[in-house]
A and B are shown apart, each in its own frame.
Chain A
Amino acid sequence: MKKNLLTVLFLVLPTALIAQKASINGYVKDSTSDETLISANVALLEVNRGASTNTLGYFSITNIEPGTYTLACSYIGFEFFHKEITLSAGESLRFDIELIPKIVEGEEIVIISERELEKQKDIGRAQVNTELIKTLPKVFEADVFRSIQLLPGVKAASDFSSGLYIRGGSPDQTLILLDRTTVYNPSHFFGFFSTFNPDAIKDVRLFKGGYPAEYGGRLGSVLTIYNKDGNRNRTAGTATIGMLASRVSLEGPYSKGSWMFSARRSTLEPILAALRQNNDNIPSSFYFLDFNGKVNFDASQNDKFSLAFYSGQDKVNFPFADDAEFKLNYGNRTLSGTWTHIFNEKLFSNFVLTGSQYFNYPELEFGGTPIQRRNNIFDYSLKADLEYLPNEKHELALGIWAGALTIRLKDRFDGEDSFQSRSHSRYGSVYLSDTWRPNDRWKVIGGVRTSYLSDGQYLRVEPRLSVDYKLTDRVRLQTAYGRYNQYLTLITNEAFSGFDVWLTADDGVPPSNGDQFIIGAKTIPFTGYGFDVELYYRTMNDIFELDPFTADASGLDYPDLFRFGNGDAYGAELFFEKREGRLTGFVGYTFAYTWRKFPNYNNAIGDVNGTGRRYPPKYDRRNDVNLVLSYQLSKRWKSTLAFNYATGQAYTEVLGRYTVLNPWSNDQLEVFSVGKINASRLPAYHRMDISFARSGTFFGLGSAEWQFQIINLYSRRNIWFYNFDFDENPVERNEVPLLPLLPTISYTVNF
């Protein structure tokens, strides 16, 4: 019965209905590498019909009257493509478009279709140009997450953290997918960098909020990152030497497809060796490394297979005293196998098997007492996504995601188990959505997602809706609503992500849920410029996170590990960008509030039965301005400037103090009395970074580029937090600063 239904739905019905109409479909690719391009705009100009390529670079336009048309295609950074095609009745034309990269020279002005950014400019969505990631001034190493932190609505906890705090959500509220596979700890250097090697990446897109039914499992946002497929035309490579890390990337074709391999490793050893000459407290060894790879196999015109992997690791050995050593080994591994099958011009499918592992093994050998942790996540899943185009007004999407998640956490103290938690969860979700375009002006995306977790047997339904109205050719009005659930929580510390532990919902620990409401407008005030506005409001209910007052988790019932609370966040984001010419860039402004509330937390002293007052988390920032400007100084020289101004972060002002005797030692216990938590603000944060890039050749073997950067150009002493020195009386408050002025240099060769 089911088989019959599918046949009717996907095969017979479309063929019967449009037998006399024509269609065109295919991939949009970069002509130099045959890399598929995501969200490229394809159109038949005469009939004003169009489509955007999906995440695999595929497009399909159906229900076309037979005739001759101009097929056009545009994508940022590529020459505008147009070609005359003729479609006969019943024809399904397979046409792969190859776009030629545009070379910016002198004062040449890049012409971009005004329609081009439509897909990228869907509500709550932002796309980060991978070239911009490499161009931005960087703290030692080009970083995907730090580039994303420049977008409105996205904040950083500190200069030392690459964690993403998006629209009032903590980092665990963002689902991070690398080639459709969940990455659990996307950090190197204990949170300083994100794990993703910019040389290996072809596409980064962020759903800041109101994300579609295709995704789920997080309260706030989704970040999707796709590895490069590899050059299908020639073998090519790039190598970069930096002060902190060096990286190499190779890609090329083979008879049935392409491959890509990329590696990166820190190169701190000489610096550590030099520091050890004069300092005792320097790690004896420390490195991070990562590998990315992808192999594509084009079995036929309609069947493509790919296998992608990522492996990253951080390892440190730190003997900090005689008879005391700290060791940490943590990292991620992902593997995904994808089968893309085009049934016909109306039905596109994608099947993915994913595997994701996270491991975290801290060890402390302290005066003959070993303290160890073994923390593992094993997540294996199957995803299937179908895109079906019954007619020009509807795009149906249907998908499933099912998997098994094992989280193992084991602590050992002095050779004996002190805490053990092991969960085997099965999870699943199904979604259905329809993109309905009743006419040229309206686009409505309605969807529903149902998700399930075996631990606690939670079943949740999540409706999603977004409406897009094109007021004029240059103004789009948008709104979106979505319900979201989250079955996981992250135990972390903003200062150090090297001990990250994920835990799941379970009996007595219900999943978090929240609603998001967004309205916005995307405008093109002048050709080559964009101005966007978005307002959002979101709730966060049943947030579960480790109770910070838990002194020792041993023997506690699982629900007793957590505190359960609520939160909400609201704000406005403005984004003005200049997309063309020698000077490009953007200004983003965010005005935001975010709140949390936990029972019996942040009560006034003496209010022992209080329900807890709501408070802003540290990363709440009322005003946040980011300016990014790139200027092509000459054929060889390019400069990029990034400036950030933000309201100081929230902190708790200490008001009073007292001491009591410590019955267990010869010192005293120092105690503060405080008022409302996080009711004060650090001084405003601002920092300017600048980079200069000089392109040239490497002994005629290939192109090369020097990059010179200065971080914190005017050496602003931004404050991370205040520390207290109790040896002084009155107690002394000291500032713990963020990054100082930091010059860096790197050299890249492309061959």
Chain B
Amino acid sequence: MKPVLFTLLSIFVLIIACDIYPQDEYEEFYVVESYLIAQDSLPPLYLSRTAPVSALYLFEDFAVAGANVRIHLLSGGQGSSIEQTFTYQMVDNGVYNSSITHEVMPARTYQLEIDIPSDPSALITAYTAVPDTFSSQSTVPDSIVYQSENQLELDISPSRNTERQTYFIFTTIAQNPSLENFTPLYADLYDPETDRFSDFVKISSGIVNEANFETKPDGTVTLKYPWLAVAFYENNTIVTNVLDDNVYDFVRSQAVQLGGSTLSPGEIPNLVYRMEGGIGVFGSLAADTIQTYVKRPE
């Protein structure tokens, strides 16, 4: 009886002691960052490496130099033939610019290709389908009164190049930011000891689906611009951004990492990456900008 008990006890102790789900060791990855904006010049591309979480992090310290960076304009979708190639040159440590000026074409697919001579095994590839351009159809009033009944409304032309609904991010950039120009909410939220003033100058929404807005018979989407997006009185620039799948996945999963989802606190997933051989974002946007003047209420 005793040997049986001893064996059972040993098995039990072994089970308790054995870690069947061990923690991974830190692994270094190449990090890519580049946002193509429809009808803008090809943007710079940032190439770096991840840092151990305990390390002091400065981009320059982890920048990757000497990489061969190419962006291909494809004739069709992903996997189609290359129509044109844009070679990038390093202009600063880890910062690469296109050698030729090229205006990013809406509704077209671009391919990223990076190899790093100092690391023969490194090959980073990614694709982005640039959203089609759009524009604000309505006449934007020159000025609006803050929190008046007449909210700013934008009529946005339909996007044509995706099978899914459109994902937006809206950005408000204050042109006359000052403490005196703060709207009451942001004046109260701003704490000079803990907050950076510049963070309030340019504020943005989270991801907003097209289905939130009224769609007219011609497909135009009417957006009522919320007052919470106005941090300062006077001149404001409002940018409507339409996201491709890569940026959409990157942004929504980055928000989950910092909490606020249904995941338990402390459960942190990696981001959703649409890239091979590296992490980060190689994505694209289409954007349109309007100006308005926000008056103080009487």
Interface residues of chain A, those whose CB is within 8 Å of chain B, are 157, 321-324, 366-369, 413-416, 418, 491-495, 545-546, 548-556, 591, 601-603, 605-606, 608, 615-619, 622-623, 649-667, 669-680, 682, 720-722, 729-731, 736
Counting CB contacts under 8 A, is B55 at the interface?
yes
Give 25 CB contacts A-B under 8 Å.
A324-B188, A368-B227, A413-B212, A414-B224, A416-B224, A492-B262, A493-B264, A548-B261, A549-B249, A549-B261, A555-B210, A605-B273, A608-B273, A616-B21, A618-B265, A651-B268, A654-B268, A655-B25, A656-B51, A661-B46, A670-B258, A671-B254, A671-B271, A720-B265, A730-B57
Contact assessment for A658 and B54 in the assembled complex, using a CB-CB cutoff below 8 Å: no
Tell me, rounded to whole Å, the shortest Cβ–Cβ distance linking B44 to chain A.
10
Counting CB contacts under 8 A, is B107 at the interface?
no
One of B81-89, B109-117, B127-135, B200-208 contacting the partner: B200-208
B249-269 vs A, CB cutoff 8 Å, 1 = contact: the mask equals 101111111100111111111
Q: Knowing A416-B214, A549-B272, A658-B280, say if A730 contacts B53 (CB, 8 Å).
A: yes
Contact assessment for B281 and A660 in the assembled complex, using a CB-CB cutoff below 8 Å: yes
* Residues on B with beta carbons closer than 8 Å to the beta carbon of A324: 185, 188-189
* Residues on A with beta carbons closer than 8 Å to the beta carbon of B263: 548
* Residues on B with beta carbons closer than 8 Å to the beta carbon of A556: 209, 211
Tell me, rounded to whole Å, the shortest Cβ–Cβ distance linking B193 to chain A.
11
CA distance A602 to B253 in the complex (A): 13
Contact pick for B252, options A549, A649, A654, CB 8 Å = A549
Contact pick for B24, options A555, A669, A679, CB 8 Å = A679
- Nearest opposing residue in chain A for B203, CB measure: A665
Q: Knowing A493-B262, A606-B277, A618-B264, say if A677 contacts B54 (CB, 8 Å).
A: no
Sort A-B residue pairs by CB-CB distance and give the 10 closest, nearest first: A555-B211, A675-B24, A664-B204, A368-B227, A651-B266, A367-B185, A721-B266, A618-B264, A656-B50, A721-B265
* Residues on A with beta carbons closer than 8 Å to the beta carbon of B214: 416
* Residues on A with beta carbons closer than 8 Å to the beta carbon of B277: 606
Contact assessment for A658 and B62 in the assembled complex, using a CB-CB cutoff below 8 Å: yes
Contact assessment for A659 and B59 in the assembled complex, using a CB-CB cutoff below 8 Å: yes
* Residues on B with beta carbons closer than 8 Å to the beta carbon of A615: 21
- Nearest opposing residue in chain B for A501, CB measure: B262
Which chain B residues numbered 177 to 229 have a C-beta less than 8 Å away from chain A? Answer: 183-189, 196, 198-199, 201-204, 206-214, 224, 226-229
Contact assessment for B268 and A652 in the assembled complex, using a CB-CB cutoff below 8 Å: yes
B91-121 vs A, CB cutoff 8 Å, 1 = contact: the mask equals 0000000000000000000000000000000
* Residues on A with beta carbons closer than 8 Å to the beta carbon of B262: 491-493, 545-546, 548
Q: Knowing A548-B262, A552-B212, say if A730 contacts B55 (CB, 8 Å).
A: yes
Contact assessment for A657 and B50 in the assembled complex, using a CB-CB cutoff below 8 Å: yes
Contact pick for B265, options A322, A494, A554, A666, CB 8 Å = A494
- Nearest opposing residue in chain B for A414, CB measure: B226
CA distance A227 to B84 in the complex (A): 76
Contact assessment for B33 and A660 in the assembled complex, using a CB-CB cutoff below 8 Å: yes
* Residues on A with beta carbons closer than 8 Å to the beta carbon of B62: 658
Contact pick for A658, options B22, B50, B183, CB 8 Å = B50
Contact assessment for B202 and A665 in the assembled complex, using a CB-CB cutoff below 8 Å: yes
- Nearest opposing residue in chain A for B26, CB measure: A655
Contact assessment for B257 and A672 in the assembled complex, using a CB-CB cutoff below 8 Å: yes
* Residues on A with beta carbons closer than 8 Å to the beta carbon of B16: 591, 622-623
* Residues on A with beta carbons closer than 8 Å to the beta carbon of B207: 551-552
CA distance A679 to B31 in the complex (A): 24
Contact pick for B212, options A418, A617, A659, CB 8 Å = A418
Tell me, rounded to whole Å, the shortest Cβ–Cβ distance linking A414 to chain B.
5
Could you say which of A415, A494, A549, A616 has the most chain B C-beta atoms within 10 Å of its C-beta?
Answer: A549
CA distance A623 to B12 in the complex (A): 12
* Residues on B with beta carbons closer than 8 Å to the beta carbon of A591: 12, 15-16
Tell me, rounded to whole Å, the shortest Cβ–Cβ distance linking B290 to chain A.
16
Q: Knowing A656-B50, A676-B21, say if A551 contacts B264 (CB, 8 Å).
A: no
Interface size range on B against A: 35 or more
Contact pick for B21, options A606, A649, A660, A679, CB 8 Å = A679
Contact assessment for A666 and B50 in the assembled complex, using a CB-CB cutoff below 8 Å: no
Tell me, rounded to whole Å, the shortest Cβ–Cβ distance linking B96 to chain A.
14
CA distance A71 to B90 in the complex (A): 95
CA distance A602 to B230 in the complex (A): 38
Counting CB contacts under 8 A, is B150 at the interface?
no
- Nearest opposing residue in chain A for B32, CB measure: A660
- Identify 10 new A-B residue pairs, CB closer than 8 A, beyond the known A654-B53, A662-B204: A548-B256, A554-B212, A601-B269, A651-B267, A656-B28, A656-B53, A666-B196, A670-B258, A673-B29, A679-B22
- Nearest opposing residue in chain B for A415, CB measure: B224
CA distance A492 to B183 in the complex (A): 34
* Residues on B with beta carbons closer than 8 Å to the beta carbon of A650: 266-267
CA distance A454 to B184 in the complex (A): 51
CA distance A321 to B263 in the complex (A): 27
CA distance A239 to B91 in the complex (A): 77
A interface, by DSSP: helix, strand, loop or mixed? loop
CA distance A418 to B276 in the complex (A): 36
Q: Knowing A554-B211, A663-B285, say if A366 contacts B57 (CB, 8 Å).
A: no
* Residues on B with beta carbons closer than 8 Å to the beta carbon of A658: 31, 48-51, 57, 62, 279-280
* Residues on A with beta carbons closer than 8 Å to the beta carbon of B206: 551-552
Counting CB contacts under 8 A, is B171 at the interface?
yes
Could you say which of A605, A622, A649 has the most chain B C-beta atoms within 10 Å of its C-beta?
Answer: A605
Counting CB contacts under 8 A, is B3 at the interface?
no
Q: Knowing A366-B185, A654-B53, say if A602 contacts B21 (CB, 8 Å).
A: no
- Nearest opposing residue in chain B for A364, CB measure: B228
Contact assessment for B266 and A722 in the assembled complex, using a CB-CB cutoff below 8 Å: yes
Contact assessment for A618 and B212 in the assembled complex, using a CB-CB cutoff below 8 Å: no
Q: Knowing A652-B267, A653-B23, say if A660 contacts B279 (CB, 8 Å).
A: no
Contact assessment for A667 and B199 in the assembled complex, using a CB-CB cutoff below 8 Å: yes
Contact assessment for A674 and B264 in the assembled complex, using a CB-CB cutoff below 8 Å: no
Counting CB contacts under 8 A, is B52 at the interface?
yes
Tell me, rounded to whole Å, the shortest Cβ–Cβ distance linking B139 to chain A.
21
CA distance A210 to B183 in the complex (A): 59
Contact pick for B257, options A622, A653, A671, A736, CB 8 Å = A671
CA distance A678 to B268 in the complex (A): 8
B54-74 vs A, CB cutoff 8 Å, 1 = contact: the mask equals 111111001000000000000
Contact pick for A655, options B52, B171, B271, CB 8 Å = B52
* Residues on B with beta carbons closer than 8 Å to the beta carbon of A669: 251, 254
Counting CB contacts under 8 A, is B169 at the interface?
yes
Contact pick for B268, options A491, A546, A674, CB 8 Å = A674
Contact assessment for A655 and B228 in the assembled complex, using a CB-CB cutoff below 8 Å: no
Counting CB contacts under 8 A, is B136 at the interface?
no
Counting CB contacts under 8 A, is B80 at the interface?
no
CA distance A675 to B146 in the complex (A): 47
Contact pick for B267, options A491, A663, A664, A677, CB 8 Å = A677
CA distance A322 to B46 in the complex (A): 40
- Nearest opposing residue in chain B for A598, CB measure: B269
Counting CB contacts under 8 A, is B163 at the interface?
no
Contact pick for B199, options A366, A555, A606, A665, CB 8 Å = A665
Contact assessment for B171 and A665 in the assembled complex, using a CB-CB cutoff below 8 Å: yes
Contact assessment for B53 and A664 in the assembled complex, using a CB-CB cutoff below 8 Å: no
- Nearest opposing residue in chain B for A619, CB measure: B264
- Nearest opposing residue in chain B for A417, CB measure: B212
Counting CB contacts under 8 A, is B270 at the interface?
yes
Tell me, rounded to whole Å, the shortest Cβ–Cβ distance linking A163 to chain B.
11
- Nearest opposing residue in chain A for B261, CB measure: A548
CA distance A368 to B297 in the complex (A): 12
CA distance A162 to B290 in the complex (A): 50
Tell me, rounded to whole Å, the shortest Cβ–Cβ distance linking B125 to chain A.
11
CA distance A619 to B281 in the complex (A): 33
Contact assessment for A677 and B269 in the assembled complex, using a CB-CB cutoff below 8 Å: yes
* Residues on B with beta carbons closer than 8 Å to the beta carbon of A676: 21-24
* Residues on B with beta carbons closer than 8 Å to the beta carbon of A553: 209
CA distance A94 to B35 in the complex (A): 83
Counting CB contacts under 8 A, is B292 at the interface?
no
Contact assessment for A729 and B57 in the assembled complex, using a CB-CB cutoff below 8 Å: yes
* Residues on B with beta carbons closer than 8 Å to the beta carbon of A679: 21-24
Contact assessment for A730 and B186 in the assembled complex, using a CB-CB cutoff below 8 Å: no
Contact assessment for B53 and A323 in the assembled complex, using a CB-CB cutoff below 8 Å: no
